[in-house]
Structure formats: C-alpha cells, structure tokens
Amino acid sequence: MKFGQFFLFLALLLSTFSASADQSSEEQRRAVLSRKVGDEVLLMIGDSVTIVDPVKQEGSRYTISFATEFAFRPEVLTAVVDSVLQNGNIKSSYFLEVLNCSDNAIVYDTYRGGELQDSLDIVNCNTREYPKACYKIALTFYADEQPKVAAVEEEAGASPVFDPSDPYSWFLFVGAALLLFSGYAYFKRKKEQSIAEHIIPIGAYLFDQRSMHLTYNGETVELTSKEADLLFLLHSSKNQTVERDTILRIVWGDEGDYVGRTLDVFISKLRKKLADDPKIKIANIRGVGYRLVVDVT
C-alpha cells in the first residue's frame, strides 16, 4: 500500500468516529425515559398519585423534579434507573446525580458504563440511606458526544495525497498513526478490563451476569435471565433487606405475568444453585423481603 493510500485509509477510519444517529429522535427517547425514571422513583417510595414534573433538558443533561419529598438508598435508585434505561434500549454511558432542591448541591452521584455492565460502573455509598428531603435527579448521557474529526476534503483546499517532501504531511501522518494506535490500545485495555469487571465474586462463587452463569470450583451452573437479574439486585444490596415489591418491580417490571409465589420459587432455585458455599445465605425477612447474607469471616 502506498503512503498516500495508507493516509487516506487512516483518515477514513478517523472519520467514522463522527458518524452518529438521528440526534432529534434520540433526544426525544431520552426525555421520555427520563420521565419514566421519575415515575419509577415515585413508585419506589410508594407514591402512585403524584404527577412527575416536566423534564428539563440542557444539552445531553435531563433534570427530573418531584413535587414530593422522599428518602432513597443509592443501590436501589441506581437499580431502578438501570432497569428503565435497559428496557428502553439505552446503551450509552451516563452520569446520575441527585441534587438538593434548595441549592442544587449534589448529594449523590455515580457513573454508569455503556450497556450497564460492559464498562466500569462506579456506585458510591451504596450502603448509605439518604434522609427524606426535596431532591432532583439529573441524567447526563455521553454516547453521542464523541470528539469530531475534521474530514479531508478537496473542496476545502486540502490535498488528500500524502507528499513525502511536505513536513506538514508527515505531521498529519504521524499524528493520525499515533491516534489510531492510542485508540486501539485504549479499547483493547477496556475490553480486557470489562472481562474481569463483569465477573462478581459472591462467596466462593464467581457470578458472570453478562453470560448468566455461576462458577464454583471450575464447574459452571447456568442461570435464567430473571435469576441473574434477581441475584444481581440482591448482591447490590448485600447484607441488607430488599423489599418484595422492590424486587418484583425491578426484576419483573411491567410484565405483569408473575403471581404471589413466583418470587419465592426463584429464591428457592437460587438457594439450590448457591448451596455449595455454606457462607452464602438468602434470608427470608418475613413480611418484608429477602436479604443476601455473605459471611466473609
């Protein structure tokens, strides 16, 4: 391949980063799902009457206001938001903030990676309960905010041909090559990280939520999608009680095909699949919900 052709190939690869979906349609979908998040937060606190205020959009940031005060636990709030966005087929990474109504001070924030578990997820203070107060929730999406790379166009007066005698051509060539190499190294490292990051240790088990299986002493036990979602939710609130209504809403959502004992059946199945490690227990908190207890001693 000649230098000029190689340079054009590099420019073509770089230009693909500027391609994006229909911005207007995506913004509308995000606005609708942000309002759905507000509705689910109200249901989370047992409020099925209050109307969610209109969502305020500023660029890729969507702010949800509430006419009622509420308390929240971060692990439950993030699980609710994840569930809504996943069901809405939002695969972009996003930043979640909870702000005080009075002064817009951030009381809680977290970054969630693309496709929810395929990238680094940071959940702060997931064992802390925030007191009842007036809060706003802000969601900032990042997928469509890729840096734009200028195209090489003859109409703009830039020659697409690499000229070995021109120092500026060498500058562009080396810069493009370094950028491509850096991008390759970055995405390779992220891929290697994601392989380890979506594996969750639970006692002596390794839980692969993405592939939906448990590994114990080299042996693999398959999980259904609902079993994997249920185990992930219980692990997110490890050693804390998760209410039955919260579990049903987050794991089963609006499917409406579950009956009173469906959750108990799934809990029983998970207990059997975790039975090889005596330090793991799914406790039934009568009349309230379930708690995943992991003895680390």
The tens-digit pLDDT sequence of the chain (297 residues) is 444 444 455 455 544 433 343 566 788 888 999 999 999 999 988 888 888 888 999 988 999 999 999 999 888 898 899 889 888 888 778 889 999 999 999 999 888 775 444 444 445 555 578 899 999 999 998 864 443 333 334 444 444 455 666 666 666 777 777 877 777 776 666 655 555 567 889 999 999 988 899 999 989 999 999 999 999 999 999 999 999 989 988 888 866 555 667 889 999 999 999 999 999 999 999 989 999 999 877
Query: What local confidence, expressed as pLDDT, does residue 215 receive?
Result: 93
Is 136 in the same domain as 168? no
Is 157 in the same domain as 192? yes
Query: What local confidence, expressed as pLDDT, does residue 114 receive?
Result: 54
Query: What local confidence, expressed as pLDDT, does residue 129 receive?
Result: 83
The dihedral region occupied by 2, where left means phi > 0, alpha psi between -120 and 50, and beta the remainder, is beta
105 part of a folded domain: yes
Is 84 in the same domain as 133? yes
Is 175 in the same domain as 208? no
287 part of a folded domain: yes
**CB 83 within 8 Å of CB 40:** yes
Is 182 in the same domain as 134? no
Is 55 in the same domain as 107? yes
Query: What local confidence, expressed as pLDDT, does residue 89 receive?
Result: 84
Query: What local confidence, expressed as pLDDT, does residue 228 receive?
Result: 92
CA Rg value for the chain: 24
Is 193 in the same domain as 218? no
16 part of a folded domain: no
Is 119 in the same domain as 33? yes
84 part of a folded domain: yes
Is 50 in the same domain as 137? yes
In order of 197, 235, 243, 248, 293, the CA distances from 262 in angstroms are 30, 19, 15, 9, 21
Question: For the domain that residue 115 is a member of, what is the CATH number?
Answer: 3.30.980
Is 168 in the same domain as 267? no
Domain count, the chain: 3
161 part of a folded domain: yes
27 part of a folded domain: yes
86 part of a folded domain: yes
Is 193 in the same domain as 203? no
The dihedral region occupied by 82, where left means phi > 0, alpha psi between -120 and 50, and beta the remainder, is alpha
- The boundaries of the domain holding residue 234 are 199-294
Q: How far is CA 219 from the centre of its chain?
A: 29
**Domain final position from 181, 197, 213:** 197
Query: What local confidence, expressed as pLDDT, does residue 194 receive?
Result: 52
266 part of a folded domain: yes
Is 135 in the same domain as 157? no
